[in-house]
Amino acid sequence: MKKGMLLLALLGLLLAYMGIVIAADLPKEIVIDNKGYSPDTKGPVKFSHNKHSVDLKLACNDCHHVYQDGKNVLKQGQPIQKCSACHDVKESKGNAKKLQLAYHANCKDCHKTMKKGPTDKCADCHAKK
């Protein structure tokens, strides 16, 4: 019984340590400032990654994805590539929406579902140019 409790405690400490290490590597703030939009009329979007990941406790795959066979197979702690690696700035290609549409679908839909934060006005997210 004591060995099982000790093993469980050690496992808990290991998971807590891994969470701290992963959290330490995450940026506190994100600035989305993709170039190449035509016309490029809106300024960059700045938001708190900490608020989303720590305060709201969203998992990486709540916002980020790697699709295989129609399923998001991204696991916590895996490297995240920039959205523009798959989403083209100018056009939708295959199942990958155009970058602006992908951002708007991901961010705005989540905010509407949660009924928190910006949802309708461009200036709620975008800085002035």
Which of helix, strand or coil describes residue 124? Answer: helix
Question: Can you tell me the distance from the alpha carbon of 121 to that of 46, in angstroms, rounded to the nearest whole number?
Answer: 15
pLDDT at 66: 93
Q: pTM of the entire structure?
A: 0.71
State whether CATH 3.10.129.10 applies to domain 28-124: no
Quickly list DSSP for 34-102: ----SS--S--EEEEHHIIIIIS---HHHH---EETTEE---TTS----GGGTS-SS--BTTB--HHHH
pLDDT at 20: 42
Question: Can you tell me the distance from the alpha carbon of 21 to that of 17, in angstroms, rounded to the nearest whole number?
Answer: 6
- Give per-residue pLDDT as tens, 75-121: 988 999 999 999 999 999 999 999 999 999 999 888 888 888 777 78
Over residues 19-41, the mean pLDDT reads 75
> Could you give the percent of the chain with pLDDT greater than 90?
45
Read off the pLDDT band of 22 (50, 70, 90).
very low
pLDDT at 8: 62
The domain spans of the chain are: 28-124
Backbone angles phi, psi at 72, to 5 degrees: -80, 110
Are 43 and 127 in contact, with CB atoms under 8 Å apart?
A: yes
The pair of structure tokens assigned to 57 is 């406790």
Question: Can you tell me the distance from the alpha carbon of 45 to that of 83, in angstroms, rounded to the nearest whole number?
Answer: 14
